[in-house]
Chains A and B, each alone.
Chain A
Amino acid sequence: MSPAEGRDARRALTAAAMAWVFPGLGHFYLGRRRTAGAFAAIVTLCFALGLSFEGRLYSIESGQPLTMLATFAVYGTGLLNLTARILSGNPGGTVLAPTYEYGCAYLLTAGLMNLLLMLDAWDIASGRKS
C-alpha cells in the first residue's frame, strides 16, 4: 500500500466512524456541510419520533435470533442510541402503547439510514463516489 493509499484508507475509516458517532458527521468531515445538516436532521428526527412513540431500543435476547438483526440496526445510530439508553427510563418501549410498532419501525429505520450514511461516507472518502 502506497502512502497516498494509506492516507485515503485512514480518511475513509475516519469518515465512516464519524458518521456512526452522529448522523451526518461523516459528510461534514468530508466538506459536504449542507447535505450533512439535512442528513442529521432527518435521522435525528426519525429517531426522536421513534422514542416518542414508545418504540423499543432492541437488545439481543436468547431464543429470539431476529433481535440480533434489530439490535444491529438500532446500534447504527451511534451516540443517539447510547444516550437514549442511558437517559430513557423506558428503553424497552411500551408494548401496549398504540404507537409501539410505529416507534420500533422509526427507530430501526433511523439506525439503518445511519448505517447507509456510514457506507456513503466511506465511498466518498475513498473516491468511489463523487
Chain B
Amino acid sequence: MAALLPADHFLIMTVYALLVSGFFALLWRERSRERWKLFGVLLASLLLGGLAAAWIMYPFPS
C-alpha cells in the first residue's frame, strides 16, 4: 500500500494528534462548544508535549 502521507516526522505527529484529539473530544463531551474546547486543549497538549519531549531528547545520542 502506498504511503498516504510523506515521511515527515512533524506531519505524522500532527495528524496523529488531530485524530486522537478529535476522537476523545467526541467520546468525552456531548455539547459542540465543549467538544471544540477539549479538542483544542488535547491538540495543544499533544503537539507541545511532543515538541518538548523532542527538545529534551535532542542532545541524545551524542
User: A: which residues have CB within 8 A of B?
Assistant: 35, 38-39, 42-43, 45-46, 48-49, 51-54, 88, 98-99, 102, 105-106, 109, 113, 116-117, 120, 130
Contacts and interface: CB of A to CB of B under 8 A. Distances in A.
Main secondary structure of the interface of A (DSSP, over half): helix
Contacts of A45: 19
Contact of A38 (B2, B5, B22): B22
Given A49-B4, A98-B7, A35 B26 contact: yes
A87 B27 CA distance: 31
A52 B19 contact: no
Given A52-B1, A99-B3, A39 B26 contact: yes
Prevailing SS type, chain B contact patch: helix
Interface of B: 1-5, 7, 12, 15-16, 19-20, 22-23, 26-27, 30
B12 A99 contact: yes
B23 A113 contact: yes
Nearest to B5: A49
Contacts of B5: 49, 52-53
Contact of A48 (B4, B7, B26, B30): B4
